[in-house]
């Protein structure tokens, strides 16, 4: 929570006409809508998801270490997937009929379920308004 203070100060210096609210006081409000836990969920979980997506892309685009004890392909996963006939690899794919998979998704992973919301709707509306008002700066090592 301490690193949020300098970010708010930076916002006030960059956009002095904006930010008439005392954002620090709102963010320190433990009982209200803006708790530090919700601020963390709203700001850093999307950043973490972006980092994980980049990791997946990197790991699928580079060759794995050779391991003679595994019967797995030793090429880049993206190339193997896109040009499977060229690499002559063993297919360990488990085929599932798509209607069955759709039925499981509807039963156990309904996209509108509240478990997929990072924060409650009231907090999301207020935090989005704060970010829109301050013209939301990207969170980097220099601004956090």
3-state secondary structure of 25: helix
- Which pLDDT belongs to residue 100? 94
- Measuring CA to CA, which residue among 36, 15, 19, 56 is closest to residue 123? 36
* Residue-level pLDDT, tens digit, the chain, 144 residues: 445 444 444 444 444 444 445 555 555 555 555 678 888 888 888 889 999 999 888 877 776 677 777 766 555 666 666 776 776 666 677 888 999 999 998 888 887 778 788 888 888 888 888 877 776 566 666 665
- Which pLDDT belongs to residue 74? 55
| HSE-CB of 26 using CA atoms within 13 angstroms | 14
- Is residue 130 within a helix (H) or strand (E), and if so which, with residue range? helix 121-133
Please give the Cα distance from 43 to 127 (Å, whole number): 9
- Which pLDDT belongs to residue 10? 47
- Sorted by where each begins, the domain ranges of the chain are 4-65+74-133
Please give the Cα distance from 44 to 142 (Å, whole number): 15
């Amino acid at each position: 929570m301490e690193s949020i203070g300098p970010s708010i100060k930076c916002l006030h210096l960059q956009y002095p006409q904006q930010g008439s609210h005392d954002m620090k006081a709102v963010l320190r409000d433990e009982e209200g809508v803006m708790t530090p836990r919700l601020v963390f969920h709203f700001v850093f979980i999307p950043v973490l998801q972006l980092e994980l997506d980049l990791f997946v892309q990197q790991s699928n685009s580079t060759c794995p270490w050779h391991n003679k004890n595994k019967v797995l392909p030793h090429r880049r996963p993206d190339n193997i997937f896109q040009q499977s006939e060229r690499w002559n690899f063993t297919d360990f794919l488990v085929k599932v009929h798509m209607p069955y998979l759709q039925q499981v998704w509807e039963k156990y992973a309904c996209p509108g379920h509240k478990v997929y919301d990072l924060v409650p709707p009231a907090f999301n509306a207020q935090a989005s308004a704060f970010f829109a008002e301050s013209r939301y700066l990207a969170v980097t090592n220099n601004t956090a």
